[in-house]
Amino acid sequence: MAEQREVQGIKRYDSPAGGWGALNATARAVREQMDAMVAPITLLRTNQPDGFDCPGCAWPDKEHRSTFQFCENGAKAVTWEATKKRVTPEFFAAHTVTSLLEWNDHQLEDEGRLTQPMTYNAATDKYEPIGWDAAFARIGHVLRSLSHADQAEFYTSGRASNEAAFIYQLFAREFGTNNFPDCSNMCHEATSVGLPQSIGIGKGTVSLDDFDHCELLIAMGHNPGTNHPRMMGTLHELSRRGVPIIVFNPLRERALERFADPQNAMEMVTFSSTDIASSYYQVKVGGDAAALKGIQKAILALDAAAGADGSVIAHDFVAMHTNGYAALVDDLDATSWADIEASCGLSRDALTTVARAYVASNATIVTYGMGLTQHSKGTANVQQIANLLLLRGNFGKAGAGICPLRGHSNVQGNRTVGITEKPPAGMLERIEQTFGFVPPKGHGHDAVRAIQAIADGRSKVLVCLGGNFSVALPDSGTCFAAMRKLDLAVHINTKLNRNHLLVGKESIILPCLGRTELDEQTNGLQAVTVEDSMSMVHASRGKLAPASALLRSEPAIVAGIARATLPDSKLPWQEWIDDYDRIRDSIEAVFPEFERFNERIRKPGGFRLPLPPTERIWPTPTGRAQFIPFAGVNEDPLTTSGDVLTLTTLRSHDQYNTTIYGLDDRYRGVFGRRDVIFMNQDDMAEHRLEHGDVVDIETALAQHGPLRLLGFTVIAYKIARGSIGAYYPEANVLIPIDFFDPESGTPSYKSVPVRIAKPQVAAG
């Protein structure tokens, strides 16, 4: 590599992930956000049997008993919520909304916790205090004056507890709509839609114990060192057990290469580390379907070579448990190696090596994240993983299965308890039987369709149970403008964010308790429940004094809105809020898998929801698992030609979705800035760009008006050819609102065709 010029804030990072750097960063998060006396006790209570669930990620803990104090990004999530900083009415009195729009996302949230309900006054362009009852009354009035319930949208971000989410969906359904856009629509919807067709359920099938028995792990499109930090302990263990870990990721992610476990005294004192990936394949962005097809094609060849008594493909399992094998084989035969290689950027030899490792393993787990789901064919991508696993019967045996890495800590639970715009008939029937009202049956809006309905005036009210809706969505230009058309926006949040500032006619902020805080109601202190990535449901109890005496819990806020909106409601709103055990009894009445909910939740560690494929029971229409071929090799057919590059959007190490904790991305060597484009050196040479050049990026989709990102700095990075990376949410301006997977509605955040223009010279 030629000598590179110095670029501000860009340094090589040669150390392993984790280690002392992680401990230092943990200490800094505590120092900057929390009271030094409170912090250690708070962190020690995270994920303890009688403590609160870590809001950082959805990776499970053994018996829910983690040695969490060393999880850097978990500590950031907890300290960010448990911060001593406050956003007060005086703050709002001192700043107009227009002036706050000049602040960046980091500055807005770093002001601290919201402390009391606020309502926007257009005359002063400021948020002003409002009482809880007045706020509820106003929201109820506007909702009731809509001409149809479908003119309202009820967004959920996956932090809400099962209890809050359950009564929220009941309220919206009693009100009369299935408009439930949620963060899952931008995240693992491809899993929720794709896996039921393949194996009959839309969730992962492995448990933490399976990692103790697996013989091979294939990790695709996720960055655990940053986003699933507690998974690093598992990967570390696997590697030390000698289990091969095969990674598919366009970027070299340090935590997938080398990790020093802060809980391993020897590694800490000797400054050593453990290699994580045994093989690292830098697949092209959008090349996973082709790679997965290549591996399957190589398996067919190995099976043919092994002859009649070979044990390459699990033919007995295939015959007994699956449909569609012949069609899969036909499709793989018809797909050429040349097309596969061109599409994924990996050679036939490389993919055959993976196939050999796969057939040598008696128990394989495939883990995957947003690198697979956020594509125009995200659903089909996920199904290719299921195909691969089915070929060797890697379901329903110890050490094997599929493992989607969920995002928000309770996004999976929200869906389980009814947050879905496509409600299953059985659930609606049980709601009707239990509560005596007739819920609407038609499909409602998902996240993209909700903002489209708001943009063209069909929807007039948006209620957000958490999150930062318009900032998380693609096409910021379109979405920000849409927010301004709303008659009313209601934001139930813990922190100030940009979504609050994109005011339309009326906007109300309702501040809520976070996971870490004590939730006291009439019958005493309350616990809530959450479901992790592996379908374990467990209790979470906050321990800290609330950030403000005026905060209310999410369930209490939902109930307050419901009562003000539906004065004749037959649902027991007050009884539910007095004692969340009663909400859990109601959850159990609607969802039989929660039988003896209150009893089982009191057991440390909680319980696991049933997962039929783990017993080789397939709740598909045919009662068998289904092989689903992938037509062609291109996930994103518009993205390959001429000077067009494929942009993927990423999270930095100092970020939780739209929450920006700080401006560093330590493991990728970026410090104090986020305005960078990661690019392969050979692509840079071809585009006559140098490390540090400042460029504009433009979306290369002809049918869309110009979508541009201006003045970003190109930096040389180990990323696959033809692929470039930039941070989310800054790069969301480049993603057209209608560029999504038609099957699941998931925006193609990870595959945007773009061109680079070079407007300026070096930044130095």
Q: For binding to ligand MGD (CB under 6 A), which residues are involved? A: 56-57, 73, 109, 157, 159, 183, 186-187, 220-223, 226-227, 248-251, 253, 283, 285-286, 288, 369-371, 374, 407-408, 465-469, 472, 492-495, 497, 512, 514-515, 554, 648-651, 655-659, 728-729, 731-732, 749-750
User: How near is the Cβ of 224 to ligand MGD at its closest, in Å?
Assistant: 7
User: How near is the Cβ of 316 to ligand MGD at its closest, in Å?
Assistant: 31
User: How near is the Cβ of 323 to ligand MGD at its closest, in Å?
Assistant: 28
How many helices (H) and strands (E) the chain has is answered by 32, 31
Measured from the CB atom, the residue of 199 and 650 that comes closer to ligand MGD is: 650
DSSP class of residue 214 equals -
Q: Does 407 bind Mo ion (CB under 5 A)?
A: yes
User: How near is the Cβ of 185 to ligand MGD at its closest, in Å?
Assistant: 9
Measured from the CB atom, the residue of 150 and 288 that comes closer to ligand MGD is: 288
- Binding partner of residue 728 among ligand MGD, Mo ion, none, CB cut-off 5 to 8 Å per kind: ligand MGD
DSSP class of residue 473 equals S
Site for Mo ion in 237-266 (CB under 5 A): none
Measured from the CB atom, the residue of 391 and 448 that comes closer to Mo ion is: 448
**3 state SS for 664-703:** CEHHHCECCCCCEEEECHHHHHHCCCCCCCEEEEEECCCC
Measured from the CB atom, the residue of 264 and 343 that comes closer to ligand MGD is: 343
Q: Which of 748, 736, 653, 649 is nearest to 699 (CA)?
A: 736
Q: Does 187 bind Mo ion (CB under 5 A)?
A: yes
- The dihedral built from the CA positions of residue 307, 308, 309 and 315, taken in this order, carries a sign that is positive
* Coil, helix or strand at residue 52: strand
- The dihedral built from the CA positions of residue 715, 718, 721 and 722, taken in this order, carries a sign that is negative
Task: Return all residues near 334 (Cβ < 8 A) that are at least 6 apart.
Answer: none
Given a contact cutoff of 8 angstroms between Cβ atoms, the answer to whether 293 and 352 are in contact is: no
Measured from the CB atom, the residue of 286 and 439 that comes closer to ligand MGD is: 286
Segment interacting with Mo ion (CB under 5 A) among 53-61, 169-177, 185-193, 417-425: 185-193
Measured from the CB atom, the residue of 52 and 317 that comes closer to ligand MGD is: 52
Given a contact cutoff of 8 angstroms between Cβ atoms, the answer to whether 527 and 501 are in contact is: no
Given a contact cutoff of 8 angstroms between Cβ atoms, the answer to whether 59 and 12 are in contact is: no
Cis peptide before 546 (omega within 30 of 0): no
User: How near is the Cβ of 411 to ligand MGD at its closest, in Å?
Assistant: 7
DSSP class of residue 505 equals S
d(CA 590, CA 427): 7
Measured from the CB atom, the residue of 293 and 406 that comes closer to Mo ion is: 406
User: How near is the Cβ of 586 to Mo ion at its closest, in Å?
Assistant: 27
Q: For Mo ion, how many residues bind (rule: CB under 5 A)?
A: 2
- Binding partner of residue 651 among ligand MGD, Mo ion, none, CB cut-off 5 to 8 Å per kind: ligand MGD
What H or E segment, with its residue span, contains residue 508? strand 506-511
**3 state SS for 519-550:** CEECCEECCEEEECCCCEEEEECCCECCCCCC
- Binding partner of residue 466 among Mo ion, ligand MGD, none, CB cut-off 5 to 8 Å per kind: ligand MGD
Segment interacting with Mo ion (CB under 5 A) among 183-191, 254-262, 295-303, 384-392: 183-191
User: How far apart, in Å, are the Cα atoms of 95 and each of 3, 504, 578?
Assistant: 47, 18, 37
As a whole number of Å, the CA-based R_g of the chain is 25
d(CA 449, CA 511): 27
User: How near is the Cβ of 93 to ligand MGD at its closest, in Å?
Assistant: 20
d(CA 157, CA 139): 20
Per-residue x/- mask for Mo ion, residues 133 to 172, rule CB under 5 A?
----------------------------------------
Segment interacting with Mo ion (CB under 5 A) among 79-87, 186-194, 670-678, 741-749: 186-194
Look-up of token digits 């490792």:
357
User: How near is the Cβ of 230 to ligand MGD at its closest, in Å?
Assistant: 10
Measured from the CB atom, the residue of 253 and 341 that comes closer to ligand MGD is: 253
- Binding partner of residue 286 among Mo ion, ligand MGD, none, CB cut-off 5 to 8 Å per kind: ligand MGD
User: How near is the Cβ of 408 to Mo ion at its closest, in Å?
Assistant: 6
User: How near is the Cβ of 109 to ligand MGD at its closest, in Å?
Assistant: 6
Given a contact cutoff of 8 angstroms between Cβ atoms, the answer to whether 98 and 124 are in contact is: no
Q: Does 77 bind Mo ion (CB under 5 A)?
A: no
Measured from the CB atom, the residue of 75 and 488 that comes closer to ligand MGD is: 75
* Structure tokens given for 360: 């040598």
Measured from the CB atom, the residue of 80 and 607 that comes closer to ligand MGD is: 80
d(CA 713, CA 61): 40
- Binding partner of residue 665 among ligand MGD, Mo ion, none, CB cut-off 5 to 8 Å per kind: none
Region for residue 616 given its phi and psi (left: phi exceeds 0; alpha: psi -120 to 50; beta: otherwise): left
Measured from the CB atom, the residue of 235 and 318 that comes closer to ligand MGD is: 235
Measured from the CB atom, the residue of 273 and 655 that comes closer to ligand MGD is: 655
The DSSP bridge partners found for residue 759 are none
Look-up of token digits 């020897």:
266
**3 state SS for 59-78:** CCCHHHCCCHHHCHHHHHHH
User: How far apart, in Å, are the Cα atoms of 226 and each of 285, 352, 445, 486, 667?
Assistant: 19, 30, 31, 36, 9
- Binding partner of residue 221 among Mo ion, ligand MGD, none, CB cut-off 5 to 8 Å per kind: ligand MGD
User: How near is the Cβ of 472 to ligand MGD at its closest, in Å?
Assistant: 3
Measured from the CB atom, the residue of 414 and 526 that comes closer to Mo ion is: 414
Segment interacting with Mo ion (CB under 5 A) among 111-119, 165-173, 406-414, 549-557: 406-414
Q: Does 221 bind Mo ion (CB under 5 A)?
A: no
Residues within the interface to Mo ion (CB under 5 A): 187, 407
